[in-house]
Amino acid sequence: MICWVAERASAAKYVSRVIVATDDQRVFEAVNQAGFEAMMTATDHLSGTDRLAEVASKLADAEILVNVQGDEPLISPETIDRAIKALLEDEGCLMASTWEPITNAADVLSPDVVKVALDDTEHALYFSRSPVPYPREAVRQHGSIEAALESDPGLLTQFRKHTGLYVYRRQFLFEFAGWPQSTLEQLESLEQLRALAHGIRIKVVEGIGVSIGVDTAEDLERVREMISASHSSPGLAFVHPAEGMHSAELKR
């Protein structure tokens, strides 16, 4: 799975180098054998962002860094580019991410699917594993959020799924990693809430296509089914890591 993620990242046009940061020797060896670059990191990092900061400290020429989480094997290279472009087009933007539409009630209700609420300028108001925004009147009318989503599928358009991707300016990344975990970050187990707790505005732009963060065995089966379907459907295009595998240079 990590090789799929590395392959997708290396296909992004704004990415010049891809490094897999890991504290697991098995992952390190598998990535190197596949032809990608990997770096070993400390074992005590509290989040992926903290791990990224350790690697970034060894890359003096990397001014923009991207954290593509290792459980996003279907992430679109265009999605990665859109997030990077948010920083390239706005010098005041310190951090960016992406969102996707939610198309089924199960994802709204699943704590493994992170939801994001945005303001009118595409900046994050909050991220949560709970359904946000909460459709209060619809729930009162139908008795529960499950019943509301079943009775009114149009409610799904109010929810946005957060993609496992972050883009940072170098100096801000180090500042972020130096802050202690916030209370909300610990409660939700979402590192981006550390930035919001410090008043940082996170630009969140719409991504391309559908991604699935693999958090459960069921998620893994969904990904396998989508990849299998891609071989018979012209509407899906996935490049298998075994085909044309190569090493790229880090996102900056």
Q: Is the pLDDT of residue 105 over 50?
A: yes
Residue 68: which of 163, 182, 196, 190 has the closest Cα? 163
The C-alpha R_g of the chain, in whole angstroms, comes to: 18
Whether residue 245 lies inside any domain: the answer is: no
Whether residue 128 lies inside any domain: the answer is: yes
> Token pair of 142, please?
């139908």
> Token pair of 55, please?
């690697």
Whether residue 33 lies inside any domain: the answer is: no
Running DSSP on this structure, what letter comes out for residue 155? Answer: G
Q: What is the reported pTM?
A: 0.84
Q: How far apart are CA 245 and CA 242, in angstroms?
A: 6
Whether residue 10 lies inside any domain: the answer is: no
How do residues 140-168 score in pLDDT, each as one tens digit?
Answer: 999 999 999 999 999 999 999 999 899 99
Instruction: Give the range among 3-7, 96-100, 109-113 with minimum mean pLDDT.
Output: 3-7
Q: Report helix, strand or coil for 87.
A: helix
Residue 224: domain span: 55-239
Sorting pLDDT into bands at 50, 70 and 90, what band is 1?
Answer: confident
DSSP strands (E only) in 158-231: 160-162, 165-169, 202-206
Report angle CA 235, 238, 243 to the nearest 5 degrees: 140
Please count the structural domains in the chain.
Answer: 1
The pLDDT, as a whole number, for residue 231 is 55
Sorting pLDDT into bands at 50, 70 and 90, what band is 243?
Answer: very low
Q: Is 179 exposed, middle or buried (0-12, 13-18, 19+ CB in 10 A)?
A: middle
The pLDDT, as a whole number, for residue 69 is 87
The CATH number of the domain where 199 resides is what?
3.90.550.10
Whether residue 247 lies inside any domain: the answer is: no
> Token pair of 95, please?
């951090």
Whether residue 31 lies inside any domain: the answer is: no
Q: Is the pLDDT of residue 29 over 80?
A: yes
